[in-house]
Amino acid sequence: MKSSIFKFGVYGFIFALMVFLLVLYFGKDLESTIQVAIGYLAMTVSSSFIFFGIKHFRDHQNNGKVSFGKALLIGILIALITSFGIAIADYIYTTVINPEFFEEYKAMMLADGYEGEIPEYSSAFMAVLMSVTVLCIGFIISLLSALLLQRK
């Protein structure tokens, strides 16, 4: 079980880190709604390793069987590893690639007519927020994968 979690977690981590950085770097001139859509797509695709990790465990390490609970646990642990890739990418982006991100975000919000107070965010806070977002997406994918792949 540990090897499947580690193997597919690392695949998700590397994919998330590389794709998210590429999307953030090359997509920084795109419209914000398109950036958000591409970001969520990258998070969802990087979480697809959850399905393959559970399937690999079931078919190659557990004699074609896996319970719902064990599949869910495997999926959540893979999602946890993957979420660190997105968090690191987000932190690198807001500190190295585009350190003016928060000022640009505030300017965009004001230009779009936002009238409320815009809170101050740090790169570390945003990295944690992105990690939690990926964990939520990963939990949903883990739940669906566990339902589809469970076999007694």
Domain with 101, as residue range(s), is 2-149
Count Cα atoms within 13 angstroms, Cβ side, for 83.
Answer: 20
Confidence at residue 133, expressed as pLDDT on a 0 to 100 scale: 94
Count structural domains, the chain. 1
Q: How confident is the model at residue 5 (pLDDT cuts 50, 70, 90)?
A: very high
- Indicate yes or no: pTM above 0.75: yes
Is residue 110 scored above 80 in pLDDT? yes
- The 10s digit of each residue's pLDDT in 22-42 is 887 787 778 878 888 888 888
Who has greater pLDDT, 109 or 129?
129
Q: Name the pLDDT band for 136 (thresholds 50, 70, 90).
A: very high
- Between 55 and 105, residue with greater pLDDT: 55
Buried b vs exposed e over 13-46: b needs ≥16 C-beta within 10 Å? bebbbebbbebbeeeeeeeeeeeeebbeebbeeb
For 118, list phi and psi in degrees, rounded to 5: -100, 115
- pLDDT for residue 96: 92
* Residue 54 confidence (pLDDT) above 90: yes
pLDDT at 88 over 90: yes
